[in-house]
Amino acid sequence: MKIPFSYIARNFIARRLTTSITVTGVALVVFVFAAVLMMSYGVQKTLVSTGSANNVIISRKSATSEISSIIDRETANNILTLPAISRGADGKPLATTDAVVIINIGKKTGGISNVTVRGVSRQAFTIREQIKLTEGRMFTWGARELVVGGAIRDRFKGANIGDKVKFAGDMWTIVGVIDGEHSAFDSEIWGDIDQLLQAFNRSDFSTITFRVDDPAVLSQLKTQFASDPRLNQFEPESERRYYEKQSEALSMFINILGIFITIIFSVGAMIGAMITMYAAVANRTVEIGTLRALGFQRFSIMMAFLIESMLIALVGGALGLFLASFLQFVSLSTLNFGSFSELQFSFSLSPIIIILTILFAVVMGLVGGFLPSFRAARLQIVNALRSA
């Protein structure tokens, strides 16, 4: 005979207390699991949105981040003459030479943290169209002035318009706030590259970023750089892909730590589901015997209890995912392992995370309900009816 689905539904509702306790336990575990995935995806999404598909970034091959990359001026001049670089109305290349350094600033919550200071050239705001000035004014070229990302203004002391930041032996005045549309640029401070290089007694750049008309030209650039002795120490990369790589170490750390914690919690949730289902089998011995006497096969009985267990886990999973979805309104700040500087990001939900979370909940119900379901299927008809 078929699986008694109506019987499953009635018992799911009839035993509300034990079912609710198990659902709550599963929901908490699923909440943690989804939060970990959302945190990892939030980091990736923040850094990926930092780059543009039409921009190419040049860095030294051995460099793991912009901080450790060095491009001398002679090489930079050679790169800026490449025909693949888009040109503005004035005929000048749409490119920016950046110098990236790390400074320490006190946080409003206590302690200090690393912050990225980026020296940029005039075309930086043209090729990075997501950067918008939201408060104050733009820094004056040739002056020791800065604009800060919104995340820096909100989380660090002395980062408001009019405040002065001391680094490289001088005082720099904050004159504006920029919005990077939830990218890593929100967690940076920008200023004139010439002033920054002079302050740190440097002459070399960190990276060069330029606009291309067709992103497909990247493969040709890679070949050109590899074959040119003057350029083979440097590597062109899609700006979006470059920043995506910067998220991999931090995302992996979050995933490993979070999944380890989730596994520990999930064991408890599966044990809770198992106890609930064992209690259900013990309380329904006569009902099981009656179903068997009516002609239901052992497999049907086992599947009935297994489906009930997975249904409990599915409801808990849906509840946990619903609660986790509100984390999208929460922003966190952490140390980016790629740049060793502060990075603000938000929890982010994706269709893949929803699918993985629901599957995780169903697996918990399957594992937790298998043994009780198997026990229910093994009950003898006569013995079950005698227990009445």
- The per-residue pLDDT for range 289-346, each reduced to its tens digit, is 666 566 667 667 677 777 777 888 888 889 999 999 999 988 877 777 666 677 788 8
Percent of the chain at pLDDT exceeding 90: 37
Model-level pTM greater than 0.85?
A: no
Length, in residues, of the chain: 388
Enter the tokens of residue 10: 């009635």
Strand 145-149 to strand 170-179: parallel, antiparallel, or no bridges (unpaired)?
Answer: parallel
Which of 217, 253, 250, 262 lies closest to 236, judged by CA?
217
Running DSSP on this structure, what letter comes out for residue 90? T
Mean pLDDT for the chain overall: 83
pLDDT score, position 172 = 95
- Cβ–Cβ < 8 Å for 114, 340: yes
User: What does the domain layout of the chain look like in residue ranges?
Assistant: 5-48+248-386, 55-212
Lowest mean pLDDT among 230-239, 252-261, 281-290, 344-353: 281-290
Burial group, residue 166, by CB count within 10 angstroms (0-12, 13-18, 19+): exposed
